[in-house]
Amino acid sequence: MVFGSGGLLLIAKPRRGAMVAIQTGDKGAVQKLKHKVDNLPSVIAAGLGTAAENVVIADLAVNPATGRIYLSVSRKPEGAAAIVTVDAEGKIAALNLNSTPWQRVTLPGGTHAKVTNTTDLSVAANRVIVAGSCNEEFARMIFSIALPLTDETAASGFSAETCHIAHRKWETKAPISSFIPYSSIDASMEEAISFSLKLDYYYNYDYLDIYFQ
């Protein structure tokens, strides 16, 4: 999960081949968490009507505009998913998606390919970047989704094909475990967006730059 501007919460859906954007409407002054929340799984479980051992916390994101904490959780054994928030007082509440605008963007795998996983996402200037994998020979994929989102928004997919010189092989299956977006200025002084990617490959890490304009 990651936040865009204006309280926009972006969530990658592993194994679903999609990204979900939720307009939380969470705006206002920043209020940091005032004290530690003890027994967090137990507190979340009480709100979800289950036991602490049935709560799985999958991810966490903090809205930089307000300081409110968002947690992606699921409830075993049925795997029901929910987004819960933690405010400055440590009060926990479930995000009501029935009254909150949200949008799903499907990640394209290609004519015969299927997106099998998503591993990371981030906001970079005027777009969302999602890293994932598909069932083609070159499994690594990078998806670009333009902002702001509209009903017609569609993702563009790119295959990340890398040849590792050390062992003279194309790395076809190594997933992109994480990446860091940063801005740069090209020779023509037009703003470009460059993404530094960390590629996880059999316990080794490669770094490369991919440029979008």
By CB atoms closer than 10 A (0-12, 13-18, 19+), residue 55 is: buried
Pairing of strands 127-134, 69-75: unpaired
Q: List CB contacts of 131: < 8 A, sequence separation 6 or more.
A: 118, 119, 120, 121, 140, 141, 142, 143, 175, 176, 178, 179, 197
- Determine, yes or no, domain membership for 191: yes
Secondary structure (3-state) at 135 = coil
pLDDT at residue 189, as a whole number: 43
Do both 63 and 88 map to the same domain?
yes
Domain count, the chain: 2
Do both 57 and 138 map to the same domain?
no
pLDDT at residue 77, as a whole number: 81
Kindly report, residue by residue over 8-28, the tens digit of the pLDDT: 999 988 777 889 999 999 998
Instruction: Label residues 61-86 b or e (16+ Cβ within 10 Å = b).
Output: bbbebbbbbbbbbebeeeeeebbbbb
Secondary structure (3-state) at 176 = strand
What is the rounded CA–CA span in Å between residue 120 and residue 78? 25
pLDDT at residue 22, as a whole number: 95
Q: Which of 124, 107, 116, 119 is nearest to 196 (CA)?
A: 124
* Cis peptide preceding 148, ω within 30 of 0: yes
- Determine, yes or no, domain membership for 162: yes
Asked whether 143 and 130 are in contact (CB, 8 A), the reply is: yes
Do both 108 and 55 map to the same domain?
no
Structural domain boundaries, residue 54: 26-94
Do both 79 and 151 map to the same domain?
no
Instruction: Label residues 3-31 b or e (16+ Cβ within 10 Å = b).
Output: bbeebbbbbbbeeebbbbbbebebeeeee
Kindly report, residue by residue over 109-145, the tens digit of the pLDDT: 766 678 888 888 988 878 898 988 887 766 778 888 9
pLDDT at residue 145, as a whole number: 92
As beta bridge partners, residue 184 has 192
Instruction: Give 6's DSSP letter.
Output: G
Residue type, 16: R
Which of 94, 124, 142 terminates a domain? The answer is: 94
Secondary structure (3-state) at 101 = coil
- Determine, yes or no, domain membership for 18: no
Q: Which of 168, 170, 177, 172 is nearest to 205 (CA)?
A: 177
Do both 204 and 134 map to the same domain?
yes
- Determine, yes or no, domain membership for 16: no
What is the rounded CA–CA span in Å between residue 146 and residue 132? 17
pLDDT at residue 9, as a whole number: 96
Do both 56 and 140 map to the same domain?
no
Q: What is the mean pLDDT of each run of 10 residues along the chain (213 residues)?
A: 93 84 93 91 87 92 96 86 92 89 85 78 86 78 87 84 72 73 58 56 53 56
